[in-house]
Amino acid sequence: MTDVTVQGQAGPRSVSDGSIEEVRLGRTAELIVQELHARYFETNFRGAVFSDGMGLTSISNATYTVGGIGATTTPVAGVWNPTTSGVNLVIIEATLGLVLTALAATGPGGFSWALSTGNGAISTGSTPLNRRTFVNAGSAAKGMTNVALTGITNAISVKFGSSLGGGSAENVAFTATAVAMQTAQVSSKELFDGTLIVPPGGVLALLANTTPVAHSAVSAIVWEEVPL
């Protein structure tokens, strides 16, 4: 049996990419293994994290729902990975906020995620935001939030429910009064942490389950782009 001695250096230090270093030790010679920065700092610092979303926008239309699936479907939050992108979109998180815009309102009936694969001809979409530079540039994907899926070749279909929600909990027409207000949720976040990957050709869309009335939304979807 051959003994192998592993040496380390105590204390923080600055190194360059590509350098070969000793492991880092603490002052009592313990091996330091830690998340030195915030969880997604490294991949974001290297310019691989992007997002898409929208400011306060009315979603009181069937195109924002599972009942309006087709070329006019308009995701409340969504992204398309072109077939030629050369990357997977590893979904990190999504957020949603809903507000009621009138006393007479109908809730969205919860939200679901709809998916589709093999799409190479969508002609719409926005340029996502680079979360490091604050510039809309550098992404291989297209943001599909509040954008119709014009040119989609394989229709999206609902695959699973979302933990995102908000707005009126009443899934019927309801007129609020001073003593009878709708039960309402303002905002929510869904953490994927890489458990959902949009492959080349894939579309991911957040849709309401019924057509809301007098509801507006803000939303965001965040992902990392990882080379194939």
Q: Which H or E run includes 130?
A: strand 129-130
30 lies in a domain?
Answer: no
Is there a domain that residue 171 lies in?
A: yes
Whole-angstrom Cα distance, residue 203 to residue 80? Answer: 4
Asked if residue 124 is part of any domain, the answer here is yes
Low-confidence ranges of the chain (pLDDT < 70): 1, 34-35, 178-179, 182-183, 185
Residues 139, 142, 147, 150, Cα dihedral to 10°: 160
Residue 149 is predicted with a pLDDT of 96
pLDDT for the residue numbered 178: 67
pLDDT score recorded for residue 38: 83
Instruction: Note down the domain range covering 199.
Output: 50-227
DSSP code, position 42: H
Task: Let me know if residue 12 belongs to a domain.
Answer: no
pLDDT of residue 185: 66
How long a stretch of residues is the chain?
228
Contact 40, 223 (CB under 8 A): no
CA angle 165, 118, 55 (to 5 degrees): 35
For residue range 22-47, list pLDDT tens digits in order. Answer: 888 877 788 777 667 888 888 999 99
Say what the pTM is. 0.85
Among residues 98, 84, 68, 90, the alpha carbon closest in space to that of 214 is found at: 98
Does residue 146 form part of some domain?
A: yes
Number of domains in the chain: 1
Note whether residue 141 is domain-resident. Answer: yes
- Residue 193 falls within a domain, yes or no? yes
Whether 26 maps to a domain, the answer reads no
